[in-house]
């Protein structure tokens, strides 16, 4: 049977896929093996979402990955439906604090860090895609751009003519390419997260590389802000969405504050470890460490706000939009939501260094809400 898996490419149907699984220990062992394999149900999926890969067969163009079982749904769909996820901020802050801290120079020595950077450099084509759609196309005339026309024609043009905005975007773009701060997910929007009210699973890691931490944090927060602005378009007589909007704002607030708390806790826990950035015999008193952490977290906060708002802008005037807004049928209503989100994002991107707390950002978000 082993030879089955080692042949070249051949198209698979349900029966031959089962044979492939049986012949491939990396897969069969995870599915109970032996007789239990005969009870496997095989179903064609293919909505583009990629989960943790257990097995990769280049010749067969085949991957084995974990099945995230119902009732998990894509978070974005839950946000459109108005479902509250009481553990979302806790889970996502945990995910971000751990993945970012443990792949940074706060935890690793330079050799391990640079080995990681070199390894993920091979993923450059995915980075180039991000560069184009996030940092380039929204700021120039591009056949890929679209927006809710004619309502936002002038808004899209204003983005392309905003020199101050373009200067800030240049800085973010260079940081995205040059700064290997941690191994980031690279596409951490609300469509890359699957949830139930008690479980949160991050999927679609194919954009992963060593980049700036704020790109992940900003992607998550920025997409929550887009979800917030979309709520006015989903409100109806049965549900005015006011309570849900409050929940989204609370989730944004808690996500950052919990992330910051957990990240600093990891830093304190491992400060005598191998991390190259702050050696304990230099940063040798608690006041100094505390000031260093405050400075680090403030810079990370500003980076996150910058990248988050850049990702909001590109979802309104760039190639790929978000279902939160796209699903608002009334174009004039949709444009109103989008204009508020766009105005908010432009102001955050340009003025991000003035924000000291996430609570100030939340006030700012509410001030652009036309509701």
Name the minimum Å distance from CB 125 to a second copy: 7
Q: Please identify, using beta-carbon distances, which residue of 243 and 279 lies nearer to a second copy.
A: 279
Name the minimum Å distance from CB 144 to a second copy: 13
Token pair 């049928």 in the structure block, residue: 329
* 69 token code pair: 């079982």
Residues that bind a second copy (CB under 8 A): 105, 109-111, 113-115, 117-118, 121-122, 124-125, 127-128, 131, 136, 139-141, 163, 166-167, 170-171, 173-174, 177-181, 276-279, 281-285, 287-288, 291-292, 295
Closest CA to 120 of 170, 58, 182: 182
Name the minimum Å distance from CB 213 to a second copy: 11
Name the minimum Å distance from CB 132 to a second copy: 9
Q: CA angle at residue 344 from 148 to 189, to 5 degrees?
A: 75
Q: Cα 104 from chain centroid?
A: 18
Name the minimum Å distance from CB 178 to a second copy: 5
Q: Please identify, using beta-carbon distances, which residue of 16 and 110 lies nearer to a second copy.
A: 110
**CA–CA distance, 347 with 239 (Å, rounded to integer):** 30
Other CB atoms within 10 Å distance of the CB of residue 89: 22
Environment class of 122 (CB within 10 Å of its CB; exposed 0-12, middle 13-18, buried 19+): exposed
Q: Please identify, using beta-carbon distances, which residue of 283 and 355 lies nearer to a second copy.
A: 283
Q: Please identify, using beta-carbon distances, which residue of 243 and 288 lies nearer to a second copy.
A: 288
Q: Please identify, using beta-carbon distances, which residue of 55 and 179 lies nearer to a second copy.
A: 179
Name the minimum Å distance from CB 299 to a second copy: 9
Strands 209-211 and 200-202: unpaired
Residues 6+ apart with CB under 8 A from 292: 278, 283
Q: Please identify, using beta-carbon distances, which residue of 53 and 288 lies nearer to a second copy.
A: 288
Name the minimum Å distance from CB 127 to a second copy: 6
**CA–CA distance, 242 with 102 (Å, rounded to integer):** 38
Contact assessment for residue 224 and residue 252, using Cβ atoms and an 8 Å cutoff: yes
Q: Please identify, using beta-carbon distances, which residue of 285 and 332 lies nearer to a second copy.
A: 285
Q: Please identify, using beta-carbon distances, which residue of 17 and 158 lies nearer to a second copy.
A: 158
**CA–CA distance, 20 with 24 (Å, rounded to integer):** 6
Q: Provide the 3-class DSSP secondary structure of residue 73.
A: strand
Q: Provide the 3-class DSSP secondary structure of residue 42.
A: coil
Name the minimum Å distance from CB 210 to a second copy: 9
**CA–CA distance, 279 with 273 (Å, rounded to integer):** 9
């Amino acid at each position: 049977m082993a030879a089955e898996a080692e042949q070249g490419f051949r198209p698979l149907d349900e029966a031959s896929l089962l044979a492939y699984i049986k012949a491939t220990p990396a897969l069969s062992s995870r599915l109970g093996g032996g007789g239990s394999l005969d009870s496997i149900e095989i179903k064609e999926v293919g909505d583009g979402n990629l989960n943790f890969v257990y097995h990769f067969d280049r010749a067969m163009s085949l991957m084995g990955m974990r099945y995230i079982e119902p009732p998990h749904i894509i978070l974005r769909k839950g946000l459109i439906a108005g479902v509250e996820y009481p553990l979302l901020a806790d889970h996502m802050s945990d995910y971000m604090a751990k993945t970012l801290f443990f792949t940074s120079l706060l935890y690793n020595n330079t050799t391990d860090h640079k080995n990681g950077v070199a390894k993920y450099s091979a993923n450059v084509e995915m980075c180039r895609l991000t560069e184009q759609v996030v940092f380039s196309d929204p700021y120039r005339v591009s056949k890929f751009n679209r927006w809710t026309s004619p309502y936002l024609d002038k808004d899209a043009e204003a983005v392309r003519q905003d020199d101050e905005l373009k200067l800030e975007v240049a800085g973010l773009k260079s940081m995205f390419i040059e700064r290997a701060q941690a191994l980031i997910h690279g596409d951490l929007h609300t469509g890359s997260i699957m949830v139930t009210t008690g479980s949160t699973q991050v999927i679609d890691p194919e954009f992963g590389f060593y980049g700036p931490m704020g790109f992940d944090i900003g992607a998550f927060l920025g997409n929550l802000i887009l979800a917030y602005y979309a709520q006015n378009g989903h409100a109806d007589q049965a549900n005015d969405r006011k309570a849900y909007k409050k929940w989204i704002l609370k989730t944004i607030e808690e996500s950052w504050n919990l992330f910051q708390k957990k990240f600093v806790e990891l830093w304190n826990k491992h400060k005598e470890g191998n991390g190259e950035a702050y050696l304990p015999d230099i940063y040798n008193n608690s006041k100094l460490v505390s000031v260093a952490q405050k400075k680090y977290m403030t810079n990370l906060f500003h980076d996150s706000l910058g990248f988050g708002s850049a990702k909001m802008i590109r979802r309104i005037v760039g190639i790929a939009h978000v279902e939160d807004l796209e699903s608002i049928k009334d174009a004039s209503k949709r444009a109103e939501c989008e204009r508020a989100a766009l105005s908010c994002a432009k102001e955050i991107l340009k003025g991000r260094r003035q924000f000291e707390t996430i609570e100030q950002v939340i006030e700012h978000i509410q001030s652009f809400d036309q509701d």
